């Protein structure tokens, strides 16, 4: 004796003919999006490391710049230039008498 619901059993147990194609398509989509996510995450991590290295380089260059400013200030001071060996290094000559130039204010602007 057949059950009254035998038509439902056949209806839901049979796989459609293109079920295998959809399964492959879904599998390819999962592989594609997984690999895209992997490469995007990897490139983001690499950029993070590059940014960190550039920030470290900026800090190092700022401290080096401060040290160089101090060295320039020390070497530019009159105490340093006033020494005889520094004068010879810079090819300076000692001035015997000072001459000053005075500019009259009327010759600078006309009304």
Q: For residue 19, is it within any domain?
A: yes
DSSP for 51-88 reads HHHHHHHHHHHHHHHHHHHHHHHHHHSHHHHTSHHHHH
C-alpha dist (Å) from residue 78 to 10, 74, 75, 108: 104, 9, 8, 32
pLDDT at res. 82: 64
Q: For residue 5, is it within any domain?
A: no
Give the separation between CA 12 and CA 8, rounded to whole angstroms.
6
Q: For residue 25, is it within any domain?
A: yes
Give the separation between CA 93 and CA 78, rounded to whole angstroms.
15
Q: For residue 7, is it within any domain?
A: no
Residue 9 region by backbone torsions, left for phi larger than 0, else alpha for psi between -120 and 50, else beta: alpha
- Spatial contact of 23 and 17, defined as CB atoms under 8 Å apart: no
Give this prediction's pTM.
0.46
Q: For residue 36, is it within any domain?
A: yes
In the predicted model, residues of the chain with pLDDT beneath 70 are: 1-19, 78-87, 104-111
Range of the domain at 29: 15-92
Q: For residue 86, is it within any domain?
A: yes
User: What total number of domains does the chain contain?
Assistant: 1
């Amino acid at each position: 004796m057949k059950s009254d619901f035998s038509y439902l059993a056949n209806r839901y147990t049979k796989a459609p003919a293109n079920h295998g194609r959809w399964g492959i398509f879904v599998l390819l989509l999962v592989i594609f999006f997984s690999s895209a996510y992997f490469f995007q995450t990897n490139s983001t991590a690499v950029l993070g490391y590059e940014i960190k290295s550039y920030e470290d380089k900026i800090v190092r260059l700022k401290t080096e710049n401060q040290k160089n400013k101090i060295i320039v200030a020390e070497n530019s001071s009159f105490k340093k230039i006033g020494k005889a060996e520094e004068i010879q290094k810079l090819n300076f000559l000692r001035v015997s008498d000072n001459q000053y130039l005075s500019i009259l204010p009327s010759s600078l602007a006309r009304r």
